[in-house]
């Protein structure tokens, strides 16, 4: 691992393969806010033509506050028109509620060049493989 930032609610680490992994340690609005803080720092530190590869997972027992996450994603995209080309893979638990995911995907893909996929937590290998593909 190259860079690691252990926040209070959300951790960020850059893996050797270039993927930026975000780990939600709790399911709270504070964790979502901290995640977007990490994203702000990350996007300011890489060239604007860089492809970002983001792996996002939660270790919390409860699902993340999806409605708050959707609203925050929407606002973040609007505030960051320079958003880079990115692939975002979310690893989710069995208590994940899929219809909310569609709204989240639409919010993120408002910005051209951002692709989002969701994977069950036991499919980490598949998520990483997708993140690193050229297609």
Write out the residue range of the structural domain in which residue 91 sits.
4-132
Of residues 62 and 6, the one with the higher pLDDT is: 62
CA 13/CA 2 separation, integer angstroms: 7
For the residues of 61-120, what is the DSSP string, one character each? SSPP-HHHHHHHHHHHHHH-TTPPEEEEEEEE-TT--HHHHHHHHHHHTTSTTEEEEEEE
Q: Can you give the pLDDT at residue 1?
A: 42
CATH of the domain at 92: 3.30.750
> Total domain count for the chain?
1
1 C-beta neighbours (distance < 10 Å), count: 8
pLDDT in tens, 84-105: 688 889 888 766 555 556 566 6
Predicted structure pTM score: 0.82
């Amino acid at each position: 691992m190259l860079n690691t930032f252990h926040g209070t609610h959300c951790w960020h680490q850059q893996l050797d393969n270039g993927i930026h992994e975000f780990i939600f340690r709790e399911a709270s609005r504070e964790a979502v806010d901290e995640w977007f803080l990490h994203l702000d720092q990350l996007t300011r530190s890489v060239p604007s033509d860089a492809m970002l590869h983001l792996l996002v997972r939660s270790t919390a027992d409860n699902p993340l506050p999806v409605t708050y996450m959707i609203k925050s994603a929407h606002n973040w995209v609007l505030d960051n028109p320079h958003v880079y080309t990115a692939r975002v893979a979310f690893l989710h638990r069995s208590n994940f509620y899929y219809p909310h995911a569609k709204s989240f995907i639409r919010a993120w893909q408002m910005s051209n060049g951002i692709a989002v996929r969701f994977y069950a937590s036991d499919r980490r290998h598949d998520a990483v493989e997708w993140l690193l593909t050229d297609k």
